[in-house]
Structure 1
Amino acid sequence: MLRISCMAAFSRIILLLLVGNIVYSSAYALGDIADGYTNHLSVYPGDSITLYLNAYQTTPGYTIKLYTLQGQEVLQCQATVSPQLSDSKNTYEDGFGYKRTTTVYLPPTLKSGVYLWENKIPMIVKSSTAKIIVLYPSNTENAYCNSGGKSLYSFNSSDKAASPIVSFLRPMSIEPHSMEFLRWMEQQDFQNVGYITDMDMDEYREIKRASLLIITGHSEYWTLQARKNFDRFIGDGKNALVLSGNTMWWQVRYSKDRNQLICYKNADKDPIKSTKLKTINWNEITLNYPILRSLGTDFTLAGYGRKADKGWDGYKVIASRSPLLEGTKLKDGDILSCASDELDGAPLSGFENGIPIINQEALGFQKVEIIGYDHVARGGVDGVATWIVFKANRSSGIVINTASTDWCSRHGIGSNPDIQTITRTMITRLLNHEYVFSPETSKEPASFAN
């Protein structure tokens, strides 16, 4: 085994922290690959994918490995790896421009999932036959990534100036709010599970055959076509499980070559002529496509979970007879712990005995129920986060919306056994079209309710 001196190991750690402005754990820093990316965000088994790897030193015949999120090696190939230098000044926008390391043909038998090349470079493998589709929030990860010096945000961009355009062809890590769910899901025994990226949502064929769509983590950036496809899916009588908060907050679009994510967050600065395609907040009147129409909640009605001192860092249960809570001992008034960064809320008409009441007129849904709620705040204004279940109309599918960025993180499914149990129950019931509302919420038979 090759031994590395303490000074050499320390140098590798420092170098890794500097390259691409991405921070990885020291365990990864001791590896031979500093960073890298792929030419496609997602592929099918049997497809090819090109790797662009940046190594600490030139190594002929280096063994490149592909891992599951559980750390299981599933594939390896050999290629010469070398240190890489970017060929662009604005790498955050133009891409890093690394030279091709190798092209890998994936085995036709490779299972759909989220994988990591060298335990650090994400790759999503899709399925054309899945009944459960898990949506990985690749747009959100790119939006917050400051690899190359800038993101869509000023707080982590050079000179505190955000860029309205960021490249997918640069080093990125796994979206942190989704990580624990993805690991958990990898260990479950659900059959026919497939994974896609945000960009794949632009193509309805990617979800057409599925019965259940699961949105994970922090799914903040959506294109117009992705939203239309989501609504079409529900309108076709399919079901969705939204395990995300601050969901569908910004409209985005892609460059013609689909290598860039575009979001100006300001209608006047966005050069596109079409008013409907301006990359602004989805609740802006000019877009005429409010978030509530799709999700029953939005961020403006709730806020930040860990910055409000009136809440409980979790949901207070008010529907203990809900079949979604089967397998837990949760009672009305109990707190389902899930400290969250951001949460969404449904429109309320007020409170009755301290319990929030849904504003049915504002939503216009056939049937809606609050399972739990939390007091949050945003910009000094109090809000109410709501975990809801709804059926928009008689022919539409069911949507369960946990409305939290951290349901899928270490604060939620990664540490709370009740959330693990509830998540499995929600998936199972939606997949099997079983009853998902509390018995007292409707006199209609289960066949209508679902």
Structure 2
Amino acid sequence: MAVSGYSSATSALPGSSISFYLSTDSPGITSLTVERIGTTTVSSTLSTTLFTRSLPATNPWEGFGWPVSVTFNIPSNWPPGLYRLAYSGQDVLTFVIRPATQAAVSKVLLQISFLTPTAYNAAGGKSLYDYNSGGAGTRASKVSFNRSGGTPASNGPESILIRWLETEGIPIEYCSSVDLHSISTLLTNYDCLIIAGHDEYWTRAMRDQTEQFIANGGNVIVLSGNTCYRAVRLEQGNRMVVFYKYAGNDPNLNAYDTTVAWAEPPLNRPQNSFLGSGFADGAYGGTATAYTLRFPGHWVFNGVSSATTTTAFMTYEVDAAAYVEEVEGYPRVTGDQNTPLTTTVLASADLRSWTGKPGRATMSIFSHNGTVFNAGTTDWLSVLGSDSVVTTITRNVFSRLKQRITWDWENIGSANGCTALTALNGKIFMATTLNRLLQRYPIGADVAWRDIAQANNVIAMAALGDTLYCVTTDNQLWWYPASAVGQYWTSIGTGPTGGTKALAATGGMLYAVDSVGALWRTPATRTTASWTAMTAFVQDATVNAMSAYGDILFASTTDNRLLRTNSDYISESTAWVYIHHCDYSAGLAVVESVLFVATTLNVLWKIDLYGLRQP
């Protein structure tokens, strides 16, 4: 005897009800069980008469239309979780019970994907894929939740994670992907969102809410791959998944709602921009491969002594950020597919020999106010608990990211003998006490500086366009072609009258602070400077370094303060505003939204300006 069916919703609240639409090949009175998946077990038995139900004659994959077999009233004291309806120990379907009050038990939320299982589900004869729909060109463009089969398995990757988290004593709450789509305030009270299993299909509302969650300081832990690869719409009360795959086939002409891969036109929203990696540079189907760990000193690898994961476990689908191997021996993202330049490739695997789709895999981390850790492989959870390296990394990630991170400086390596710092075109440049100009990339880990030129007696630097600028101890102003190596600096006059202590550049202008703390500016050109004092701006003689983020100046001081101009653009600003501490600064630089400081203690620190709310 077999029982199949579907539920009225992907999730429900304690104290509410959920209906089941069932069919059997052996009609009669049937005993069913509703039970929670995990170490916290609650269950209830249902007895109902089941019948053999037929499928609609037309497009059954768009919904079976069966009558309700039984309605289950969920006890009000049942805990949040992933639940299954089972017959004789076998899954019939699964569903989520959400918390009655969001974040009452935990500020960590696990999203259970129902969109991806539904996309692959061929019940009724078709799925969103040709391979199980009858052959080339036979796939459906619409598939319904109102079919048997399309729910996560009770022994699948999400369930592995649930049991592991409960064993680790890490409480979480639950939602379905439909909840993330339909409840616009779902993430408001949470600190961390977990994406697990195989979560390939996302709606625009899901993605928009998750991106805003990160921008507001929420962390995301991705323990999967092929994540958010395809964009879908939901119709018919969020019970129909719509995916035309090719833009020309989609009758909806709104570009932002076109159902294609997220990275493709007309959407042009690669998932790398908010997850740090994507399937465009990823891979599919090949020989089992291990990750090679790239930055063993990173906090993610605390307690790990191996150079690779314990097992070669990746065989299915992986995501990656495009990266190059620097001559100093570390990976550096290129920024392709909108990957943030400050992304750190924690681990990598070369999968260009895979036959399904050649590519690479990257485990990564970056911050845009909130922090995103991305394991980058659908196979991650299959070895959680058995692969000691994967298990330790997962434990470290949850320890750090299950709560919001306090806004503060993070040590990312060395910066020996800094006299001035600046950044241009995704690179950080440092002048040193040894009169050398060094360069490194804005990776959130300790990497080697590259010696590229002389920098004699430099005390301040700035950069704009394709040019580096510096002021030397004798108050001379110089320029240098940023793309060149081993060239000489060219003099273009002097700094402001009375000496220069700090330099920055933005909006076509150079800004300088003189010896008494007055702010000056001049056009940023390779010709003789003509400085103008900004007399309305209050002097601060403690300023010793500057940088710019958009049309805001940031400054450090000799008494360990971090300052910013007090308006949204410099010309309207009248004074510095204190926003944080900045100890022992020797130079400041900004790449994307990240502010770097090199200190007199020979350390390089970073802090994320993306979510800055001061003043």
Do the two structures share a fold, i.e. TM-score over 0.5? yes
1:200 aligns with 2:171: no
- State which drifts further: 165-174 or 213-222: 165-174
Distance 1:384 1:159, change over 3 A: closer
| Kept in 1: contact 2:82–2:97 (CA 8 A) | yes
Aligned counterpart in structure 1 of residue 320 of structure 2, from 342, 345, 352: 345
Aligned counterpart in structure 2 of residue 214 of structure 1, from 187, 191, 194: 194
Matched to 2:380, the amino acid is W
Distance 1:405 1:92 in 2: 30
| Kept in 2: contact 1:84–1:98 (CA 8 A) | no
1:399 is matched with 372
2:142 is matched with 165
Distance 2:281 2:191 in 1: 30
Distance 1:85 1:362, change over 3 A: closer
The structure that is helix-richer by fraction is 1
How far off its partner does 1:49 sit? 0.3
Matches within 5 A, 1:232-243: 232-243=212-223
Matched to 1:115, the amino acid is Y
Partner of 2:245, secondary structure, is coil
Distance 1:73 1:397, change over 3 A: closer
Partner of 1:213, secondary structure, is strand
Aligned counterpart in structure 1 of residue 207 of structure 2, from 220, 227, 235: 227
How far off its partner does 1:247 sit? 1.1
| Kept in 1: contact 2:113–2:152 (CA 8 A) | no
| Kept in 2: contact 1:240–1:399 (CA 8 A) | yes
How far off its partner does 1:213 sit? 0.3
Provide, for residues 297-351 of structure 1, a one-character-per-residue CA deviation record: whole Å limited to 9, x for no partner.
Answer: 11111212x426xxx6121011111222223332x45666432311111122444
| Kept in 1: contact 2:231–2:259 (CA 8 A) | yes
How far off its partner does 1:77 sit? 4.0
Distance 2:163 2:264 in 1: 36
Matched to 1:74, the amino acid is V
The structure that is strand-richer by fraction is 2
Distance 2:385 2:127 in 1: 27
1:323 is matched with 299
Partner of 1:133, secondary structure, is strand
Aligned counterpart in structure 2 of residue 117 of structure 1, from 73, 76, 85: 85
Aligned counterpart in structure 1 of residue 13 of structure 2, from 41, 44, 64: 44
How far off its partner does 1:217 sit? 1.8
1:423 aligns with 2:394: yes
Aligned counterpart in structure 1 of residue 98 of structure 2, from 94, 119, 126: 126
How far off its partner does 1:255 sit? 1.0
Distance 1:333 1:56 in 2: 50
Distance 1:64 1:364, change over 3 A: closer
2:421 is matched with none
Matches within 5 A, 1:23-422: 34-60=3-29, 62-70=30-38, 74-90=42-58, 92-118=60-86, 119-120=90-91, 121-127=93-99, 128-129=102-103, 130-159=106-135, 161-172=138-149, 173-174=151-152, 176-191=156-171, 193-202=172-181, 203-304=183-284, 306-307=285-286, 313-330=289-306, 332=307, 337-352=312-327, 355-359=330-334, 363=338, 365=340, 367-377=342-352, 382-392=358-368, 396-408=369-381, 410=382, 412-413=383-384, 415-422=386-393
| Kept in 2: contact 1:340–1:407 (CA 8 A) | no
How far off its partner does 1:281 sit? 1.0
Partner of 1:182, secondary structure, is helix
How far off its partner does 1:141 sit? 0.6
- State which drifts further: 80-89 or 375-384: 375-384
Q: Specify every segment of 5 or more residues in structure 2 that has no aligned partner in the other structure, as ranges.
A: 414-444, 447-602
| Kept in 2: contact 1:150–1:156 (CA 8 A) | yes
State the TM-score, normalized to the length of structure 2: 0.61
Partner of 1:174, secondary structure, is coil
Matched to 1:45, the amino acid is P
Distance 1:63 1:344, change over 3 A: same
Distance 1:382 1:446 in 2: 35
Matched to 1:174, the amino acid is P
How far off its partner does 1:235 sit? 0.3
Partner of 2:6, secondary structure, is strand
Q: CA RMSD in A?
A: 2.8
Provide, for residues 127-147 of structure 1, a one-character-per-residue CA deviation record: whole Å limited to 9, x for no partner.
Answer: 222411111121111011111
* Number of residue pairs the alignment of both structures matches: 407
How far off its partner does 1:151 sit? 0.8
Provide, for residues 147-175 of structure 1, a one-character-per-residue CA deviation record: whole Å limited to 9, x for no partner.
Answer: 12111011111355211111101112425
| Kept in 1: contact 2:309–2:389 (CA 8 A) | no
| Kept in 2: contact 1:347–1:363 (CA 8 A) | no
Distance 1:336 1:367, change over 3 A: farther
- State which drifts further: 439-448 or 37-46: 439-448
Distance 1:59 1:71 in 2: 33
Distance 1:354 1:439 in 2: 17
| Kept in 1: contact 2:218–2:404 (CA 8 A) | no
- State which drifts further: 219-228 or 203-212: 203-212
Distance 2:386 2:229 in 1: 27
- State which drifts further: 356-365 or 216-225: 356-365
Distance 1:179 1:439 in 2: 35
Partner of 1:205, secondary structure, is coil
Provide, for residues 208-264 of structure 1, a one-character-per-residue CA deviation record: whole Å limited to 9, x for no partner.
Answer: 111000101211111111111110000001111011211111110011321110101
State the TM-score, normalized to the length of structure 1: 0.82
How far off its partner does 1:107 sit? 1.3
| Kept in 2: contact 1:55–1:81 (CA 8 A) | no
How far off its partner does 1:437 sit? 7.5
How far off its partner does 1:74 sit? 2.0
Partner of 2:165, secondary structure, is helix
| Kept in 2: contact 1:321–1:438 (CA 8 A) | no
Matched to 1:195, the amino acid is Y
Distance 1:73 1:88, change over 3 A: farther
Matched to 2:81, the amino acid is G
Matched to 2:370, the amino acid is G
Q: Specify every segment of 5 or more residues in structure 1 that has no aligned partner in the other structure, as ranges.
A: 1-11, 17-33
Matched to 1:416, the amino acid is D
1:4 is matched with none
| Kept in 2: contact 1:56–1:82 (CA 8 A) | no
